[in-house]
Amino acid sequence: MWVNDCLQSNFSKIEQLHTGAGYAQFTDFLFPGSIPLKKVKWNSHLELDWLGNWKIVQTSWKTLGVEKVVPVDRLIKGKFQDNFEFLQWFKKFFDANYDGHEYNPLDARGGEPLPAETAPGKPSAPASMSRMQMPTRTSSAAT
């Protein structure tokens, strides 16, 4: 839910963040102008483009002084656990750095849908599945 609300996107699974495009936009959201958004490959299905997106993110973070090792080789594989753990870290980073300014993510990426498709020839998730929620941990057992 948080990712889709912030980015005006339609991610149906955390694993779809593996391309780096979402994190590129989140970085621009937090630090306007820090990412050359025209270079981001928003909906590519090519691993080389995903690596390029992550390189853009890492270069920006280095310039900004963000000292986080990004496990790109694991993230681009699209496995849930790796992407979930990275998103958990990023949510904390976002909350610590967001100053409340307004940002229009759809305009910033030139109207590109995110993601446009889940796989070549397959449409993106239907509206009923388009909101992702971060699971919460509870200390009490369900009854």
- pLDDT, one tens digit per residue, over 114-124 is 997 544 333 33
Q: What is the mean pLDDT of the chain?
A: 86
Its sign, for the CA torsion 76, 78, 81, 83, is positive
Alpha helices in the chain (DSSP H): 2-7, 21-30, 47-64, 72-75, 80-97, 105-108
pLDDT beyond 60 at 143: no
Q: What domains can be seen in the chain, in order of their start residue?
A: 30-115 (1.10.418.10)
pLDDT (tens digit, 9 = 90+) per residue, 98-111?
999 999 999 999 99
pLDDT beyond 70 at 129: no
pTM score: 0.81
3-state secondary structure of 119: strand
